[in-house]
Structure 1
Amino acid sequence: MTDFTAEKAISRAYMADFDQAAPSDRLDRLEAHTSPDFHWRGVHPFNRQPSAGAAMQAFWAPLLNAFSSLQRREDIFFAGLNEIDGFTATWTCSMGHFMGLFDAPWLGIPPTGKMAFLRYAEFHRIENGKIAETALFCDVLSVMAQAGVDPLPPQTGAAFIVPGPMTNDGLLLSSSSPDEGKTTLALVNRMANSISKANEVLQGKSKTYLTPQQEMSENWHDDMIWYGPHGIGATYTIDRYITQHQAPFRTQLADRIFNGHVARFAEGKYCGFFGWPNLTVTPIGGYLGLPATGKPADMRVVDIYRRDGDKLAENWVIIDMLHFLKMQGLDVLERLNAGVR
């Protein structure tokens, strides 16, 4: 199947219905668009929720209470068959920001009374005309920074409101060429294989085969843009990406274990995936400006890519940083709510 019109319509009907509903009607709207056995994933502290009602109570209700006039500002939307399950299930992906007036505390983060932006990536698995499963990643640390309570040392990349695609073509509301999607997925997989080979070199399992610049140039344009999560930041061009993200990631994190993805799919020039978790790594000193912990920690990660021709041009990344830090013994929200900054 290469026509995802029906599945897209289900996701978009949910977004329109839920986003425009009165606060008292939101749970009814969520339940109307989800299956009886619906389950939900979110970043820490929301984690897994077994029903629409639980997701509403854990995530949506507190968010809607804290952010007045919340709106979804969507930059990317696409659908595809999940490579992980043999191209059986259909997923959709929506990425952008939730924006509202930060008028009440959220997770203990003090309100500003001003506009605030929460980066998000929302994945839906569509089955029998309903949303059967959702994974919603968001960048909580970025909201802390906007509120003046950034818990981390200065990041290596830049901090700003992350834009959508430079080409302004990220909302794939109609059908796309199946061949384009296959090309994009193949390129992302080739790029991931290059990373695996580089990790084998770091682990002493194979000899050096390329410099970092050579490795990147195989699959990325020289003027690539990588939009990382708060704590790492964004970086531009291959050389600065290597300096500001790749080198710290490869030299300050050891014992990498790739745990796989839950979903990975592509449509047109866009591809996305997420894991639960994708990686397990051990900080050995310096990563995120923090000391070594020697404790293995999981990274739940979203990656969304834009292909331009035969190489990748842009990459949007959200990592569940609160979960990653908590596994190392740093409970950011607990410290915040205890008055420790």
Structure 2
Amino acid sequence: MTFQDEKALLRAHYAALAKATPGNVGAILAERTSDDWHWRGMHPFYEQHGAHAVADSFWAPFLTAMSRVQRRQDILFAGRNEIDGFDGTWVVSMGHLMGLFDAPFLGIKPHRRIAMLRYAEFNRIADGKIVETAMFCDLLHLMRQAGQYPLPPQTGAHLVQPGPATHDGLLFDDADPAEGEKTLTLVNRMIGDINAHQRYESPQDELRRSWHDDFIWWGPEGIGATYTIDRYVEQHQRPFRTQIKDRVYNGHVARLAEGNFGGFFGWANLTVTNAGGYMGLPSGKPADMRVVDLYRRDGDKLAENWIFIDMLHFLHMQGLDVLGRLKQT
């Protein structure tokens, strides 16, 4: 099993995008995507079909706002999708899109300094074309960088989040398939522990089965990052499990691994109800959480976890229109 053609296609796609302008980005996107390309984006972009719709929705406005954009990629891996019986091939990329924030974007006012838009992207490739994409980015973090943060203080810390501590996340060469199988098996075991967490005496006992004690949970803006099992329990897991109720697991669209890296995304992974207080909001109606989780395995346990959540959509479903408020200020 080799993923060299798919990786080469995505790298060529990114190289072409690096030279794109707001005026020609639609044509550049069309070069390596299918006519019916299905693109999933975060609020307010949502689902688009075809290169020019994606350009009009996301890329042209982004390139208008951000000058001299660089893709600073930290992770790239490929694999077959467990969810469809290991039929489809996906290539995953994670990092930051860095530019000079020179013009308004989605109502966010520019500060003319470096801005880093954190992203994770899943791309399904078939017959030499990108046919399906999920593009997650952390818009709340962009607001914080621009000095326009709209939410109460978060429980963890958010930084310009680094890539793997081992600096080996760019799998341009294919990894040993046996290592990817180990990673996917461990990720699945960890998911099973989450779904059956009541059988463990403590959250720490649950987590120690799959996680190193000094693991890093690189959470999204609005929640923040945590370090070590105990701080993860204190700063993320306990608030989530005590302030969220009626959790419904909807499944994943893609779940795959290569080497020591793996991950998944859902649309939506979870539907939950805020029981009161989560992210500073009162109790509300059910809302969707569209989530990306990317993992680095170290030996027989997980060492790092990068998370992206469509926070603006989650908040919007609870009646908080963050972008609408920005445009009124």
What TM-score does the superposition give when structure 2 sets the normalisation length?
0.99
Counterpart residue number, 2:305: 315
Asked if 1:326 corresponds to 2:316, the answer is yes
SS in 1 for 2:209: helix
Tell me the CA shift for residue 23 of structure 1: 4.0
Percent identity between the aligned chains?
Answer: 63
Distance 1:109 1:35 in 2: 32
Task: Could you tell me which runs of 5 or more consecutive residues in structure 1 were left unpaired when the two chains were aligned.
Answer: 202-207
Counterpart residue number, 2:183: 184
Distance 2:214 2:101 in 1: 35
CA contact (8 A) 1:39 1:52 kept: no
RMSD: 0.8
Asked if 1:264 corresponds to 2:263, the answer is no
Tell me the CA shift for residue 21 of structure 1: 3.2
Asked if 1:287 corresponds to 2:275, the answer is no
CA contact (8 A) 1:303 1:317 kept: yes
Q: 1:21 to 1:107 in 2, by over 3 A?
A: closer
Letter in 2 for 1:124: N
Residue by residue over 1:247-290, the C-alpha shift from the partner in whole angstroms, topping out at 9 and shown as x without a partner, is 01111000000000010000000001100000000001111122
Distance 1:141 1:87 in 2: 34
Residue by residue over 1:204-253, the C-alpha shift from the partner in whole angstroms, topping out at 9 and shown as x without a partner, is xxxx4331000000000000000000000000000000000000111100
CA contact (8 A) 2:27 2:52 kept: no
Counterpart residue number, 1:42: 41
Tell me the CA shift for residue 22 of structure 1: 4.1
SS in 2 for 1:20: coil
CA contact (8 A) 2:22 2:61 kept: no
* Aligned residue pairs, count: 329
Counterpart residue number, 2:239: 248
Task: Could you tell me which runs of 5 or more consecutive residues in structure 2 were left unpaired when the two chains were aligned.
Answer: none
Distance 1:20 1:172 in 2: 24
Letter in 2 for 1:216: L
Asked if 1:232 corresponds to 2:212, the answer is no
Residue by residue over 1:41-79, the C-alpha shift from the partner in whole angstroms, topping out at 9 and shown as x without a partner, is 000000000111101000001100001111110000000
SS in 1 for 2:223: coil
Counterpart residue number, 1:276: 267
Distance 2:132 2:288 in 1: 22
Letter in 2 for 1:81: R
Letter in 1 for 2:229: I
CA contact (8 A) 2:26 2:54 kept: no
Q: 1:62 to 1:22 in 2, by over 3 A?
A: closer
Counterpart residue number, 2:286: 296
CA contact (8 A) 1:225 1:235 kept: yes
Counterpart residue number, 2:192: 193
Residue by residue over 1:184-203, the C-alpha shift from the partner in whole angstroms, topping out at 9 and shown as x without a partner, is 000000000000002xx3xx
SS in 2 for 1:302: strand
What TM-score does the superposition give when structure 1 sets the normalisation length?
0.95
Tell me the CA shift for residue 336 of structure 1: 1.1
